[in-house]
Structure 1
Amino acid sequence: MLRFHFLWLLVFCSALNSSSARHAPFAMRISCGARQNIHSPPTNTLWFKDFAYTGGIPANATRPSFITPPLKTLRYFPLSEGPENCYIINRVPKGHYNVRIFFGLVTLTSFDHEPLFDISVEGTQIYSLKSGWSDHDDRAFAEALVFLRDGTVSICFHSTGHGDPAILSLEILQVDDKAYYFGQGWGEGLILRTATRLSCGNGKPKFDVDYSGDHWGGDRFWNPILSFGQNADQRRSTESSIKQASKAPNFYPEALYQTALVSTDSQPDLQYTMDVDPNRNYSIWLHFAEIDNTITGVGQRVFDILINGDIAFQGVDVVKMSGDRYTALVLNTTVAVNGRTLTVTLHPKGGSHAIINAIEVFEIIAVESKTLPEEVRALQVLKNSLDLPHRFGWNGDPCVPQQHPWSGADCQFDRTSHKWVIDGLGLDNQGLRGFLPNGISKLRHLQSINLSGNSIRGAIPSSLGTIASLEVLDLSYNFFNGSIPESLGQLTALRRLNLNGNTLSGRVPAALGGRLLHRASFKSMWYTWATCMRAPPFY
């Protein structure tokens, strides 16, 4: 009986520990253009076959960098399929994610060697590819920390006229909800785009997985840097264990702190300079561990940290602040940068030398307010009903990023809902076919509709009469038939109506006709309607 209780206790404790252990983070990796799932060496990483794309063409890929995943295909998006193309991935659990996009080169001589385009995540532009990206390992991808709250993620690629966007892979990797918390202002309204991530004193580029890092770290890429400049520093390394490294919420790999750069007598300052986009805010994370065996206690190495010449941290003593040697210390600060460079300087005090193990720099990007979901759905219905040409695209969000709104849809910010809304449709003379759906009334903020000069057929939807804000309605020179809906008489804001060039029949609705007789602004429409109807419009 005693043995039974002992075994039950072991099982109970085991179950308790198992239930309290953290579940594995959500991870979705897509090999763009692939027709089947792939396991890539050397880590046997699973990449799902291509799905969730709005368009594009699969093709064989050339990897621009040896850090690029060993995948053989990509998906590219020719301008003929529209300026905006996306991956829209559903069933993504609510949480905080590291979203990473690797770019590729199409293996065809007829293609631009290095396409340049913009990238947005959830309607917020995070990156613009710059010329020369294919020659630098840390520019072969874009990466950002994003909160996802509605079960989906949209990753869009926006043509800029410099080649067709070509995407090798996508990764959506869950991280801790508090990862990279930096204090006031941090939260769901911000995106942190990775500007650089350096492993100091290390000679090999590595991902977290190469460091045997915790999966909750988001499998970060660490670019190696052996020196900040000729004769400027010396490398240090250790095989000793590092305390306080891989812990929540950032879960840094322990090995990150086992290499470092140390300044010298001839160059006492350690200084790193990088190019940045001007007039932005940056979150800077500096990593330290005292791994130099010549330093044995508190006070033997003290230095100030300056960002662009301004003191960010004064009197840094790694042993004192971390609590011991071989113990991780992370310092974070946020700075506004007006120029095009960001310089981190470690200035030793009292004749000592400075040390640093790693550097991370993120651009802080304010999340764009998105378009009202019901209006996005209504535009998608309209797109399908009118057989909108592929050149329009109409993928992603119609109003954001603001640098790339949809052609033919005008946007206005609604301060009540704090969302973008559609206040105009300008799709005249675009070769549209099909019919005008009743669901157009879901675009309830419309002030102007111009669909003239197309080949739209069928009846004029009576639901148009419910768009109370509508001021201009031009459906001329199409193939509309039937009668004019009585509901148009409810459009009290309407000041211009053009229906000529269709095959309409019947009478003009009394309410609408009465207003035409009493408003000078409608005078010009008397002849248009009378001609269109081929009969006296009023009795």
Structure 2
Amino acid sequence: MQVAATTWLLFVSSVLVLAAHVASAVSNEPFAIRISCGAREDIRTKPTNTLWYRDFGYTGGRYTNASRTSSIVPPLKTLRHFPLSDGPENCYNINRIPNGHYAVRIFFALVADADLQNEPVFDISVDGTLTYSMKPGWSNHEDQSFMEALIFVKKRSLCVCFHSTGHGDPSILSIEILQVDVNSYNYGRPRSNLMVLRTAKRLSCGSGKAAFDEDYNGDHWGGDRFWLGALSFSQGSDQSISTEQSIAEASLPPNFYPKKLYQSAIISTDRQPDLTFEIDVDPSKNYSIWFHFAEIDPRVTNEEERVFDILVNGDVIFEKVDIIRMTGEGHTALVLNRTVSVSGRTLTIILHPTKGYAIINAIEVLEIIPSELRTLAEEVSTLQTLKASLGLPLRLGWNGDPCVPQQHPWSGVDCQYDKKSVRWVIDGLGLDNQGLKGFLPSDISKLKHLESINLSGNSIQGSIPFSIGTIAGLQTLDLSYNQLNGSIPESLGRLKLLRILNLNGNLLSGRVPATLGGRPLHGASFNFTGNAGLCDIPGLPTCGPHLSIGAKVGIALGSLIAFLLFLVCLVCWWKRRQNILRTQKIAASREASYAKARTHFGRDVQMTKHSPQRSHDQSRIVTDDSPALLS
């Protein structure tokens, strides 16, 4: 029932995504998909009348009611949560997305059920790249109630996965996929399309309220970013200012920053000349920092009236910043960007004035995450076939990419990086004692990089696929203690690197291939015991004289000819028998007629003897006859 429902919902998802794409193309609007997780029908939310599609595209999980954690969370009433018993990895697979640059935002919420553990902590990956690891206490911080990242879609699909870490069941309120300008947030590094930019912090300075771009009347191509409000950096030692005057050069491509972002700011004072801002970050990472300025202070109208340096963790990254000089006039947006490496767990930004006071309108800190290389598509597809044919239990998961993120590989799957294909490949399967059933598909040979297969201690039925003998690098094959039947494929003898072969404890029969029988003499470890039908190697019964294929064909032809001769003889005998029976029948008929005639004659004689007239006549005849007649 669950499978049928999932299939139907995936079909619906494709239709919805295609419809959204067509609508976007017609209106020249950015492509957008918003999913209300756990919702069974489309929903629109106030005050913007935003459309949220019903839940689709998932690989598992369960519907339940949601408990919102903050005021910025969308007003949605349901969520989807993923119990660990259903698998450690669960994903949303969204297809038919136009290739391009997208902001992906995922909101979290708490399950509205006292019996379930609240505030789960889990990891999130996008297209195989570990993008975010949640922190304990996230439900008490508005800017930690969601994850946002900028990614490139290259194959018209997007896979968002949630990985259990043993601290509660992942619970997802909503997923948003919002197209942005293809050149947005280009931080000047080559091959930036191979990177993911995760939002570590977005801060609107001088504003005390958290807001999205839509609240700031921002352009849709900006991706509806979230800005956390900040009135002060140093508890009143600085001051906030604002203006209603329009800001020039603000809502421009490729980033489309809203004008309202520049209409408020924080300014340093005599009590605290430096403006200092600190955030906690992950160590040994690179961060792209974006600084937003507009000279909205009516006291500053000329160059050289406000000049300051910008330092990050003690290093000067911008020197002698003069907003009026760099923009040419006041109330004009200025954006500066720099990429820095952070070794510790704190990123400290200092604006140090050399003339006048420092000012800042907004700050963005984006973590730069190299995109993970994916697993070979053919091998991923083969593993999914294996999952279906062996009936893998839900607890194993097997959703998303088997090798990435590297922190969360699939259970029972070993990976290695293949330089030739520049992809991850599967070099080991270790699924022993997992309660597997079903059969081994012949497609397993498509995992051509396998070096080890261990499927022992399960209930796998059917025969051993002949194709396994084509996995040239296979060194270990353990299929012991299953319910495999049939014969051992001759192809296994072609595996020149095979050193361990355990087929014991099955229902196999027939001759063990001669190419395998001598291997143990050269250091290999083979085990065929516990198969009553196997024969012809030391420790097993003898199969009898070995016949070549030609001999077997000759015997088969001879047997056929003998059978045909026997059939011809049988037909001839049957026809002869029929002729004899027919002759006997005719003879019997004639004999019966002769016997009948004699019977009539005897009766007549008897009647004559007993008749007086006949006796007188007879005596008279005899008397008149000559003596010669009586002799």
TM-score (normalised: structure 1): 0.93
Amino acid at match of 2:462: G
Unaligned runs of 5+ in 1: 1-19
Task: Name 2:519's counterpart in structure 1.
Answer: 516
Task: Name 1:357's counterpart in structure 2.
Answer: 361
Structural mapping, 1:292-371, within 5 Å: 292-350=297-355, 352-371=356-375
Give the conservation status (yes or no) of the 8 Å contact 1:500–1:532: no
Q: 1:536 aligns with which of 532, 542, 553?
A: 542
Q: Quick one: distance in 1 between partners of 2:251 and 2:525? A: 76
Give the conservation status (yes or no) of the 8 Å contact 2:500–2:525: no
Unaligned runs of 5+ in 2: 1-24, 547-631
Task: Name 2:83's counterpart in structure 1.
Answer: 78
Q: Quick one: distance in 1 between partners of 2:378 and 2:222? A: 36
Deviations 1:19-53 (A, max 9, x none): x9992111011000000001111001110000000
How much does 1:537 deviate? 6.2
How much does 1:282 deviate? 0.7
The reply on whether 1:214 has 2:231 as its aligned counterpart is no
The reply on whether 1:468 has 2:477 as its aligned counterpart is no
Q: Quickly say closer, same or farther: Cα 1:320–1:392, change in 2 above 3 A.
A: same
How much does 1:530 deviate? 8.5
Q: Quick one: distance in 1 between partners of 2:267 and 2:519? A: 83
SS of equivalent residue, structure 1 residue 188: helix
Amino acid at match of 1:140: S
Q: Quick one: distance in 2 between partners of 1:65 and 1:56? A: 24
The reply on whether 1:201 has 2:206 as its aligned counterpart is yes
Deviations 1:200-219 (A, max 9, x none): 00122111111111111010
Q: Quick one: distance in 2 between partners of 1:476 and 1:400? A: 30
Give the conservation status (yes or no) of the 8 Å contact 2:505–2:531: no
Q: Quick one: distance in 2 between partners of 1:242 and 1:266? A: 29
The reply on whether 1:95 has 2:100 as its aligned counterpart is yes
Q: Quick one: distance in 2 between partners of 1:524 and 1:274? A: 60
SS of equivalent residue, structure 2 residue 510: coil
Amino acid at match of 2:202: R
Deviations 1:460-498 (A, max 9, x none): 111111111111111111111111122222212111111
Task: Name 1:480's counterpart in structure 2.
Answer: 484
Give the conservation status (yes or no) of the 8 Å contact 1:378–1:440: yes
Deviations 1:93-132 (A, max 9, x none): 1111111110010000012221100111111111111111
Give the conservation status (yes or no) of the 8 Å contact 1:231–1:267: no
Q: Quick one: distance in 1 between partners of 2:365 and 2:459? A: 53
Deviations 1:273-292 (A, max 9, x none): 11111111111000000011
Deviations 1:507-532 (A, max 9, x none): 2234334x527x42236547677885
The worse-fitting range, judged by mean Cα deviation, of 283-292 and 487-496 is 487-496
Q: Quick one: distance in 2 between partners of 1:166 and 1:458? A: 40
The reply on whether 1:55 has 2:57 as its aligned counterpart is no
Task: Name 2:252's counterpart in structure 1.
Answer: 247
Q: Quickly say closer, same or farther: Cα 1:119–1:47, change in 2 above 3 A.
A: same
Structural mapping, 1:408-487, within 5 Å: 408-487=412-491
SS of equivalent residue, structure 2 residue 459: coil
The worse-fitting range, judged by mean Cα deviation, of 47-56 and 502-511 is 502-511
The worse-fitting range, judged by mean Cα deviation, of 244-253 and 486-495 is 486-495
Give the conservation status (yes or no) of the 8 Å contact 1:125–1:401: yes
Give the conservation status (yes or no) of the 8 Å contact 1:458–1:481: yes
SS of equivalent residue, structure 2 residue 193: coil
Give the conservation status (yes or no) of the 8 Å contact 2:508–2:533: no
How much does 1:382 deviate? 0.4
Amino acid at match of 2:136: S
Amino acid at match of 1:369: L
Stretches of 4+ moved more than 4 A in 1? Answer: 526-534
Task: Name 1:236's counterpart in structure 2.
Answer: 241
The reply on whether 1:400 has 2:400 as its aligned counterpart is no
Q: Quick one: distance in 2 between partners of 1:454 and 1:495? A: 22
Q: Quick one: distance in 2 between partners of 1:168 and 1:39? A: 15
Q: Quickly say closer, same or farther: Cα 1:152–1:21, change in 2 above 3 A.
A: closer
Give the conservation status (yes or no) of the 8 Å contact 2:487–2:511: yes
SS of equivalent residue, structure 1 residue 216: helix
Task: Name 1:10's counterpart in structure 2.
Answer: none
Give the conservation status (yes or no) of the 8 Å contact 2:511–2:534: no
Amino acid at match of 1:173: L
Give the conservation status (yes or no) of the 8 Å contact 1:232–1:270: no
Greater Rg, structure 1 or structure 2? Answer: 2
Amino acid at match of 2:88: P
How much does 1:323 deviate? 2.0
Q: Quickly say closer, same or farther: Cα 1:40–1:527, change in 2 above 3 A.
A: closer
Give the conservation status (yes or no) of the 8 Å contact 1:24–1:215: yes
Structure having greater relative contact order (Cα 8 Å, sep ≥ 6): 1
TM-score (normalised: structure 2): 0.80
Q: Quick one: distance in 2 between partners of 1:267 and 1:428? A: 65
Q: Quickly say closer, same or farther: Cα 1:452–1:301, change in 2 above 3 A.
A: same
Task: Name 2:229's counterpart in structure 1.
Answer: 224
Q: Quick one: distance in 1 between partners of 2:525 and 2:424? A: 34
Give the conservation status (yes or no) of the 8 Å contact 2:38–2:80: yes
SS of equivalent residue, structure 1 residue 181: coil
Give the conservation status (yes or no) of the 8 Å contact 2:502–2:526: no
Give the conservation status (yes or no) of the 8 Å contact 1:500–1:531: no
Structural mapping, 1:282-293, within 5 Å: 282-293=287-298
The reply on whether 1:384 has 2:388 as its aligned counterpart is yes
